[in-house]
A and B are shown apart, each in its own frame.
Chain A
């Protein structure tokens, strides 16, 4: 069963074609990793799947149901999608616990007691229980991003979208965030993630897609796309990543 199917997706911003006839399939419990230079369309693809951006052509299916119809109830669709942003986007006026409980209580109509209990379970699991009552500005970037990930999975989404979740972090904080993602992958959470961390991509990816100019140039297991790329564009990109010391 495929959680997500993207067919012939096109998206342009004014004259600029950002996604060009892009197709993608994500089977349940698998992780698809998007790699590629900035501006290749990774973030736009994630935002289109989440219906934060409206697409210009093609279709998107979530659990076999088309979500790219104009008449669709976007709030209903987003109940099944989790999204984590590069810049964390925690709500600064709420404690960590309130950030996590907001959607379960308001969107999924869970009782406050149950939402608190589930939130605390997640916080304990990821070693953040002592931060429950803190406000986001008291937390390190790594802690904030871990809270943002917990917030997005607190509603038990069918698919988790991660948009360069470590790009805004100090190098020493990257690993604590990636280890959460690894744990979620081990739990069987289906996810699509854009990243510049090639080592991490190799560890979690069931499929790696290399994007260039809004299209997937090369796709396959990490052992192929990252370790033994076939396409000249992929080779060129990875060589430049390697030179920058990120491999």
Chain B
């Protein structure tokens, strides 16, 4: 707030006072403190980051690393092939996230249901989540990618792309199911009581009252999982899917220069960093909203 404009209250009404000398002094000293803090922050950042750069650049192997990892002309050469691979990662992410949403929601609903008829499915869903949260994604990809074709069942696909996507969906559905379940459980029982006392059945209560609030509440962790999913799609390259990671691998094995890997990493970051920033913003907003509700 500038000193020359009149101070305004919440209602926008002009308050009929100009700051006292004492208040002007306070504002001046607050400004001085702020300047001092900014200076300290700048100096410490320059020192720490500068020291890190100096450490890397003066290391004995730096020249070699620079040539094999940061050969920008070669990086530009392979950019097209790696970017083409990245399109595969993006497509895979889109298809997988749709399938994950459906499967994870089913798992979460089964795990939170109390219906007697669903008991066996509830047990299966719990076991499923336990298993797939506990096995490394890379192993699941290998097992599905090499195991399913080995069954030699007619009509079952041998496409590494489909098998790889399936493996990713299997694992991520377990993670996302747990996020959704925690959202469902976080809705206060009084909301359920209010809905049931209006005569809504338990599935209507879930559909119209609990789920909309639960999903909204877990949007930040879901976005977090989406960022992780985008980069984990790179793991299907192990099956031979020509995605960004595989494209980079092919390019670098031709010349024994690792710059394509760095290129692929930069391309992944171009997608994930904006998404991460966006996630932080959504999270900050939802925290603010929750605090506002708590105060009301």
Contact = CB atoms under 8 A, between A and B. Distances in A.
A102 B198 contact: yes
Interface size class of A (residues with CB under 8 A): 20 to 34
Given A83-B197, A91-B194, A152-B198, A137 B296 contact: yes
Interface stretch (A74-82, A171-179, A190-198, A210-218): A74-82
B197 A78 contact: yes
Contacts, number: 62
Interface of B (DSSP majority class): helix
B200 A102 contact: yes
Nearest to A79: B199
B191 to A, nearest CB: 6
Interface string A103-117: 100111000000000
A175 B282 CA distance: 40
A239 B171 CA distance: 65
B216 interface: yes
A87 B190 contact: yes
B201 interface: yes
B67 to A, nearest CB: 57
B198 A103 contact: yes
Interface string A90-109: 11110000000011001110
A57 to B, nearest CB: 23
A36 to B, nearest CB: 22
Interface in B195-214: 195-201, 204, 208-209, 212-213
A85 B190 contact: yes
B194 A89 contact: yes
A137 B292 contact: yes
Given A78-B198, A79-B199, 17 more contacts: A75-B196, A75-B200, A78-B196, A81-B197, A82-B197, A83-B194, A83-B197, A85-B190, A91-B213, A92-B213, A93-B212, A93-B213, A103-B199, A103-B200, A108-B199, A137-B292, A151-B198
13 contacts: A52-B196, A78-B199, A83-B198, A89-B191, A89-B193, A89-B194, A93-B212, A102-B195, A106-B200, A108-B199, A137-B296, A148-B194, A151-B198
